[in-house]
Amino acid sequence: MSEHGPRDPQPGRRNAKGRQRPERTHGDRERSAQRPSERNRSSDPQRLAAYTVLRAVADGAYANLELPKVLRDRGISGRDAAFTTELVYGAVRMHGLYDPIISVAAGRPVAKIDPNVLDTLRLGAHQLLDMRVPTHAAVDETVALARKVNGAGAAGFVNAVMRRVSERELDAWLAEVVPTGELTARLAVEQSHPEWIVKALRAALLGHGAATADTVDSELTALVTSDNAPAKVSLVARPGLATVAELVEAGADASPLSRVGAVLDGGDPGGIPAVRDGRAAVQDEGSQLVALALAAVPVDAHGPEQWLDLCAGPGGKAGLLAGLAIEAGADLTANEVSEHRTDLVRQTLRPAIARAAAAGRTVTVRTGDGRTIGEDEPGRYDRVLVDAPCTGLGALRRRPEARWRRTTADLADLGKLQRELLASAIDATAPGGVIGYATCSPHLAETSFVVSDVTKRRSDVELLDVRDFVRDTSGAAVDVPGTGQTVQLWPHLHGTDGMFLALLRKKG
């Protein structure tokens, strides 16, 4: 491949995401035109760390778990950690767009590029096309990284590809690689999602009443665009253990959406004492609304209410439910099928377990298959949460690799499990009790279809109108589009994960 120096771009031009691209200087061009072997640069720790995480993700790791480990092991913190995080999340999320660009720049399909080298190129493409990194730094540092991790031969190739990519602004690349035609196919590349997910989200917007035929294109565009924006850091003050005021004092803003929530505008939540002690935690406000709604439904119980979290791992909602249960004079059982995740629940609930004991109530954690609880303990519980295992298509902002791992085949396996768990939950619920069925996915096959399939087969449950129980901090009903009795929250409308909730009453 021949090498061409980058053209001078139009100074001060904004790219498609509205970011100001820095002006490039003549010096940048000269520098980029140098052969990689003529430069004597070693790669910097942040890019090396980002590359390490990308390779781990390629081997099956989760970026949100691997990244903190690598940052900690290498002593990367503060702004350097934020930079590394942006590199990792951007390169993983956006490679559905970067790969076609890299392919054009390299003159070959990405399948013909060594996967290690491809990850280096993705990191470089993200710096060039979506970050404020000056062009010369993005190119030079990517080449230095390639020399270190991919070898001298690969560094020459990376240099050539990076320089080609840097020749155009993002808008020009979009014009080249985004297909014309169907919006779903266009968004799949432009917003870097597998097309089956874009189609499923389109159906979900229509099916949950969040769009009409006239508005679905703009809603869908806003939704998939929001999947690529970093989620804000939301905190929960676990009732009885911490207060929102305490979180506000530590620098967060009270959440307008959740009465137990606060939102952190940057900074490390781990630095907040209540979070460090497990009295507060990072938790999406949508998840908080689910737990609050289930706890708010009036139930006629004989004696202290018995609450069950059927699928509790790693314990986020159980942490909130435990506090709400103690406040309500109820007992909570948190069940989880995986031993390892049960340990995480136990860790999360440790402060609540102690507090429950002091209040004469119990919070119990156990390992078990939720599908058999209905048979083993029929009618024992007054409130049951089924936060079902799902594709997580409503939480793509937080899990950058999830969109590339999920397949339509997952839906069939999960659908069977979801139906069995919901049926078991209903069996485990006492007459007059309430069941919450939740997913962090708006996919119709995991939400409305599961609820309608299970309820139409039985005469002992009725749907409640969830809208009555999803209340914001002021006590007003949260504005949820659609007219059905279930609630679907949306990242682009509510700023939360795409949580779904149905509430069912067991007939007395």
Ligand X SMILES: C[S@@+](CC[C@H](N)C(=O)[O-])C[C@H]1O[C@@H](n2cnc3c(N)ncnc32)[C@H](O)[C@@H]1O
Residue 132's region, left for phi above 0, alpha for psi from -120 to 50, else beta, is alpha
Q: From the annotation, which residues make up the binding site?
A: 311-317, 336, 369, 387
Shortest Cβ 335–ligand X spacing (Å):
6
Q: Does 314 bind ligand X (CB under 6 A)?
A: yes
Q: 414-430 as b/e, with b when 16 or more CB fall inside 10 Å? A: bbebbbbbbbbbbbbbb
Query: Could you tell me how many residues of this chain bind ligand X (CB under 6 A)?
Result: 20
Identity of the residue, 139 or 325, whose beta carbon is nearer to ligand X in the bound complex: 325
Q: What three-state secondary structure class fits 281?
A: strand
Q: Does 415 bind ligand X (CB under 6 A)?
A: no
Residue 59's region, left for phi above 0, alpha for psi from -120 to 50, else beta, is alpha
What is the rounded distance in angstroms from the CA atom of residue 387 to the CA atom of residue 383? 13
Q: Binding pattern to ligand X, positions 271-310, x when CB under 6 A?
A: ----------------x----------------------x
Cα 317 to chain centroid distance, Å, stands at 16
What is the rounded distance in angstroms from the CA atom of residue 164 to the CA atom of residue 55? 24
CA quadruple 347, 352, 357, 361: dihedral positive or negative? negative
Query: Which residue among 155, 160, 161, 312 contacts ligand X (CB under 6 A)?
Result: 312
Stretch that binds ligand X, among 31-39, 62-70, 312-320, 458-466 (CB under 6 A): 312-320
Identity of the residue, 90 or 389, whose beta carbon is nearer to ligand X in the bound complex: 389
Q: Contact, 258 vs 281, CB < 8 A?
A: no
Shortest Cβ 234–ligand X spacing (Å):
13
Distances in Å between the alpha carbon of 204 and those of 183, 216, 364, 465, 502? 16, 10, 36, 19, 15
What is the rounded distance in angstroms from the CA atom of residue 284 to the CA atom of residue 260? 11
Query: Which residue among 20, 218, 338, 347 contacts ligand X (CB under 6 A)?
Result: 338
Scanning residues 442 to 471, which ones bind ligand X (CB under 6 A)? none
Query: Which residue among 100, 207, 269, 313 contacts ligand X (CB under 6 A)?
Result: 313
Shortest Cβ 312–ligand X spacing (Å):
5
Amino acid at 468: D
Catalytic residue among 81, 262, 440, 504: 440
What is the rounded distance in angstroms from the CA atom of residue 227 to the CA atom of residue 236? 22
Residue 360's region, left for phi above 0, alpha for psi from -120 to 50, else beta, is left
Start-to-end C-alpha separation, the chain: 75
Identity of the residue, 43 or 287, whose beta carbon is nearer to ligand X in the bound complex: 287
Task: Retrieve residue 50's tokens.
Answer: 């980002």
Stretch that binds ligand X, among 171-179, 266-274, 300-308, 334-342 (CB under 6 A): 334-342
Query: Which residue among 48, 56, 337, 414 contacts ligand X (CB under 6 A)?
Result: 337
Identity of the residue, 220 or 349, whose beta carbon is nearer to ligand X in the bound complex: 349
Q: Does 64 bind ligand X (CB under 6 A)?
A: no
Query: Which residue among 317, 399, 471, 506 contacts ligand X (CB under 6 A)?
Result: 317
What is the rounded distance in angstroms from the CA atom of residue 144 to the CA atom of residue 149? 9
Shortest Cβ 473–ligand X spacing (Å):
20
Give, as one character, the DSSP assignment of residue 38.
G
Q: Does 336 bind ligand X (CB under 6 A)?
A: yes
Q: From the annotation, which residues make up the binding site for S-adenosyl-L-methionine?
A: 311-317, 336, 369, 387
Query: Which residue among 36, 286, 316, 495 contacts ligand X (CB under 6 A)?
Result: 316
Q: Contact, 47 vs 87, CB < 8 A?
A: yes
What is the rounded distance in angstroms from the CA atom of residue 134 to the CA atom of residue 334? 50
Q: Binding pattern to ligand X, positions 340-369, x when CB under 6 A?
A: -x---------------------------x
Tell me if residue 440 is catalytic: yes
Shortest Cβ 499–ligand X spacing (Å):
10
Give, as one character, the DSSP assignment of residue 436.
E
Q: Binding pattern to ligand X, positions 368-387, x when CB under 6 A?
A: -xxx---------------x
Helix axes 78-93 and 45-58, enclosed angle (nearest 10): 40
Identity of the residue, 105 or 311, whose beta carbon is nearer to ligand X in the bound complex: 311
For tokens 């507060």, name the residue. Answer: 280
With CA atoms as reference, report the closest residue to 159 among 132, 138, 130, 129: 138
Identity of the residue, 119 or 336, whose beta carbon is nearer to ligand X in the bound complex: 336
Shortest Cβ 414–ligand X spacing (Å):
9
Identity of the residue, 262 or 385, whose beta carbon is nearer to ligand X in the bound complex: 385
Identity of the residue, 189 or 241, whose beta carbon is nearer to ligand X in the bound complex: 241
- Contact residues: ligand X, CB under 6 A: 287, 310-317, 335-338, 341, 369-371, 387, 389, 417
Q: Catalytic site residues?
A: 440
